[in-house]
Amino acid sequence: MDFKLSSEHLMARTLFSEFAENEVKPYAAEVDETEEFPKGTVEKLQRYGFMGIPIPREFGGQGCDSLTYVMCVEELSKRCATTGVIVSAHTSLCCDPIYKFGTPAQKEEYLKPLASGDKLGAFALTEPGAGTDAAGVQTKAVLEGEQYVLNGSKIFITNGKEADIYIVFAMTDPSKGTKGISAFIVEKGAPGFTFGTKEKKMGIRGSSTYELIFRDCRIPRENLLGQEGKGFSIAMATLDGGRIGIAAQALGIAEGALETTVAYVKQRKQFGRTIAQFQNTQFTLADLAAKTEAAKMLVYKAAYAKDTQKRFSVEAAMAKLFAAETAMEVTTKCVQLHGGYGYTREYAVERMMRDAKITEIYEGTSEVQRMVISGSLLS
Amino acid sequence: MLNIVVCIKQVPDTNEVRLDPKTGTLIREGVPSIMNPDDKAGLEAALRIKDELGACVRVVSMGPAQADAVLREALAMGADEAYLISDRAFGGADTWATSSTIAAAVSKLPYDIVFTGRQAIDGDTAQVGPQMAEHLGIPNVSYAEEIRVVGDSLIVKRQFENSYQVVRVKMPCLVTALTELNRPRYMTPGGIFSAYREKQVTVWARADVPVDDSNIGLKGSPTRVKESFPKALKGKGEVVTLDAEAEADYLVSKLREKFVI
């Protein structure tokens, strides 16, 4: 066993960290305040190959591994969690399923432009009646000749209005329950595909979270991803990977909050001393640092498992559960260490605490992660 | 296709270097090593020429084995080949011995343009580039702020304290680059993987470099460092926009304030 990162991983971390510092951090507060999708930053992410890190080069990606990808999401999220989730949703939830389940023609037409950064991806599973209970999908797809006709709506879709290519889940045979769900590749601009309301969120406010509406939306038959009826297992397999991305986002948020708080307590004075000199501060920071490091180990282990194991659901669930709850605890306590200033938008920890909350909810709530873990324990 | 050689140096990140308050010497421990910024601008200039016109970009560095990292970084940015001149025999070199050694190594490679940085942030001599041009017998254009390839020549805008000079120089030539020349690109993740897993850094030891013993290492160095001191910190400049008379008054008042007049 070796806990040392390879030279290429160390250099990649330096790259991501410098990029995040120079290109992401300066806009993080503004992105949060204005709730505007950071288009300029995303263009840079696309230009420098950050949008297809774990995808092989033959499909337009960078040919790196999951650990490199995870470090990218982590470093971006240290400075701006909105930017982190844009990359994570695009890579884990859109590129990955096409890479894993797509036909050679689908990879050529959709994966290549996604992984090379020409197009942005999204994933549409959630519906008003189908959140954690993903089997309750109501959107329907009916085969008419050479086209599928989609009807229904999706909510809370990350990269919603900004994406070009969507993985959409719809019921092709309602009589079969989860085995009647199928996955489709839908392009922006498909007839009958429009956008509904934009969500106003507590955190990750720059990510474009929209409702997608399909009214007699016609897509070519060959845009079925995988086989008919396999949509649910495609969704679950995809979310296993996605959870590692979100775990990395949570880890980054925790690390970012800790870093800025360490700097703050060294200069903030009360009672004639810096607050870093108080044991309460020291012990709190020690606990937070230990938990953040533990989260990092789980996240990196899950990334490694994704590349080396057939199944990694438990590793992904543990990483996401622990990293998300760590992010929430770290950011909450970092706000506390900032005192009143931490409650204001002048200080980044206020934003980080709001951003952290979503990591306990999306791509499987903490409760779902506990179900996955305990299900495996008790099976 | 053009052949471009870029000379790069690994230096301690002087932004991170602190002074020992007691001895006044640099504390280098734990200071990250980076590609010298002026050199990086030279590399970016080479890569832009490659993007525009096609070129083979070879990077050369002299230093200990750790300097491998800056060469890999250059490969990850898009350089094609990398060479590390590394041997104990080259250690302790002053600018003369350094330029003699690197020029001899470069003479083994095809080149139309040789880029070096103006100066390294750890030594600040600005001598190695121009000296190399002398050793190689090619023209040298220093302080490049803008570069264009026109036929068999380069048009180079040179930066001075308060003026510019635009020169046309025939290739082969050597250009020393300023950080103002461009904003270097980032590496790509795939570039990093390929730099470590597919590409090679060729190491040239003493026997691989055609240079006379009298011109290398500490023994081949005619100069000795008498004293090292950090750059004096300059205060932040202030730009004032008033009408001419008011500006003059402001200036005089400031000079009086500082007891200059």
List pLDDT tens digits, range B149-195. 999 999 999 998 889 999 999 999 999 999 989 999 999 999 999 99
Separation between Cα atoms, residue A235 and residue A126, nearest integer Å: 11
Nearest to A292 by CA among A239, A338, A333: A333
**C-beta neighbour count of A118 within 10 angstroms:** 12
B164 has a chain A CB within 8 A of its CB: no
Separation between Cα atoms, residue A58 and residue B217, nearest integer Å: 47
Strand-pairing partners, residue A198, are: A210
- Residues with Cβ within 8 Å of A307's Cβ and at least 6 positions away in sequence, in order, are A65, A66, A67
Considering only CB atoms, B190 lies closest to which of A6, A19, A62, namely: A62
Number of residues that make up chain B: 261
Per-residue CA distances from A70 to A65, A74, A252, A319, B236 (Å): 9, 6, 10, 12, 40
Does the domain at B2-215 match CATH 1.20.120.1630? Answer given as no
B33 has a chain A CB within 8 A of its CB: no
8 Å CB contact between A238 and A92: yes
Per-residue CA distances from A43 to A117, A198, A273, B60, B76 (Å): 8, 22, 45, 32, 20
Has residue A301 got a pLDDT over 90?
A: yes
Q: Give the mean pLDDT of A124-131.
A: 93
The per-residue pLDDT of chain A, averaged, comes to 97
Retrieve residue B188's tokens: 């790509």
Minimum Cα–Cα distance from B68: chain A residue: A7
Separation between Cα atoms, residue B163 and residue B149, nearest integer Å: 22
Say which residue the tokens 């438990």 belong to: A314
Q: Which residues of chain A are within 8 Å of residue B188 when distances are taken between CB atoms? A: 48-49, 62
Has residue B230 got a pLDDT over 90?
A: no
Q: Which residues of chain A are within 8 Å of residue B196 when distances are taken between CB atoms? A: 6-8, 11
Burial of A91 (0-12, 13-18, 19+ CB in 10 A): buried
Retrieve residue A89's tokens: 């949703």
Retrieve residue B189's tokens: 């993740």
Percentage of chain A modeled with pLDDT above 70: 100
For A302-320, what is each residue's pLDDT tens digit?
A: 999 999 999 999 999 999 9
Per-residue CA distances from A302 to A61, A66, A97, A323, A350 (Å): 21, 9, 18, 12, 29
pLDDT for residue B32: 86
Among A131-145, A332-346, B211-225, the range with the most confident prediction by mean pLDDT is A332-346
Confidence (pTM): 0.91
For B22-73, what is each residue's pLDDT tens digit?
A: 766 667 677 889 999 999 999 999 999 999 999 999 999 999 999 999 999 9
Helix axes A348-359, A313-338, angle to 10 degrees: 150
Separation between Cα atoms, residue A161 and residue A198, nearest integer Å: 9
Instruction: Note which residues in 65-94 of chain B have CB less than 8 A from chain A.
Output: 69, 72-73, 76
B196 has a chain A CB within 8 A of its CB: yes
Which pairs from A307-314 meet CB under 8 Å and 24+ separation?
A307/A65, A307/A66, A307/A67, A312/A240, A312/A244, A313/A236, A313/A240, A313/A372, A313/A376, A314/A372, A314/A373, A314/A376
pLDDT for residue B26: 63
8 Å CB contact between B10 and B56: no
| Distance between first and last Cα of chain A | 29
Q: Where are the domains of chain B?
A: 2-215
Nearest to A67 by CA among A354, A308, A375: A308
